[in-house]
Amino acid sequence: MTEIKTKIKIGIIGGTGYTGVELLRLLVTHPNADVVLITSRSEAGRPVADLFPSLRGFTDLAFSKPEPSSFNHCDVVFSATPNGIAMTHARELITQGVKLIDLAADFRINDIEVWEQWYGMTHSCPELVEQAVYGMPEMNRAQIKSANIVANPGCYPTATTLGFLPLIENELIDPNDLIADTKSGVTGAGRGASVANLYSEVNDSFKAYAVAGHRHHPEITQNLSSVGDANVGLTFVPHLTPMLRGIHATLYSNLGDTGQSLEELINVFEKRYCDEPFVDVMPLGSHPDTRSVKTSNMCRIALHKAGSSGKLIVLSVIDNLTKGAAGQAIQNMNLMFDLNETTGLMTAAVQP
C-alpha cells in the first residue's frame, strides 16, 4: 500500500500541448497536488502563465528542459508527450522510485509486435509493458492502486469501452459484430500546427478519417476481449467534427437471444456502474450530448433499440481532454496515492 502524502510532488513531461494545459488546469486546484516541475524543450525558461494566460495567478512555474535527473524528487510523473517519448524515460523513473502515468500509447498494448506495427517504431523498454497497468478505473481499480506504471487510456477507447463493457461482461451481445461510429473534437488531434486542422479547413465541415485502420482499434479490442470469452470483431470508424472538445461514440451491436427489454438492459448498466463516480447511465429515451460533459470527468451513457432491426445502440459521450486524457490520469493518480479517486475532479460541466 502506498504511503499517503499530504502533497504529492508531481512532474509533467511535455506540458505545452492541450493535454498538458488540461493537466495543469486540474492539478493547480487539487488539494493534494504540488506540481514542482514541467518540461518543454521548445519553451524552456518561459513562464507557464506566459504561454497559458488562463493559469495566471495559479502557478509561478516556468518550463525547463527534461534533464535525466530532473524528476528524482518527484513522487509521480505525467508524460503528456507524443507516442514514443514516455518509454525513453520509464526505466530511469522506475529505478528512482518515481511512478509514471503515460497519457500516450507507449504502454497500452500488451502485444509488443502489434504495438510496433501500429505505431511504426521499436519499443525501447518492452519488459516494462508487462508491469504497466491499463488505467481505466472502471476495469482495473485494484491493480491501479499498486501500479508503478499506468497506461492512461485513449479517448476513443474510453468512450467505446465503457459503452460496450457491461454487454460483453454479461454476454448479452454478439462480440463478433460490433460497430463503433465515433466523433471527436479538433483538440483530439493535438496542438501542433497542421493544415488539416486549420479553422478554415475544419469549420463547417465533417469527415471520417483513418477508416482503413486507426491506432485505437487494437486498444479497444484488447479491452473488450479481456472481459469476454471470445475474440471481438470490431468495425471502428472515427470522424472529425467542427468543435473543440468532446467524443461522441454511437455503438451498434446485435442482441443475443436473452429476450431482455430495453429497460432491463438499462438496469444492467445501472447495476454495473452504480458505484462508479464518473459514469452516468441516463434514463430511458435520453440522448447525451458532448456539451453535457465539457471540461468534466464524466462519461454519460444512454441505450436505445433501433426499431425492428434487432440492434442495440449505446450512446457514450466524454470530454476527450478530461475523461479521455488528463482527468482520467488524475483519477488514476488519486488511486495510486490512496486518495479518494474523485479528489480534484468533482466539477460540473461547462455550459453553454
Residues labelled as active-site residues: 155
Task: For residue 47, give the C-alpha cell.
Answer: 513562464
Report, in this order, helix, strand and coil percent for the chain, each rounded to 5. 35, 20, 45
- For the chain, give the longest Cα–Cα distance: 63
How far apart (Å, rounded) are the C-alpha atoms in residues 39 and 81? 10
Task: For residue 171, give the C-alpha cell.
Answer: 454476454
Of all helices (H) and strands (E), which one includes residue 264?
A: helix 262-273
Task: For residue 102, give the C-alpha cell.
Answer: 503515460
DSSP 47-113: BHHHH-GGGTTT---B-B---TTTTTT-SEEEE-S-TTSHHHHHHHHHHTT-EEEESSSTTT-S-HH
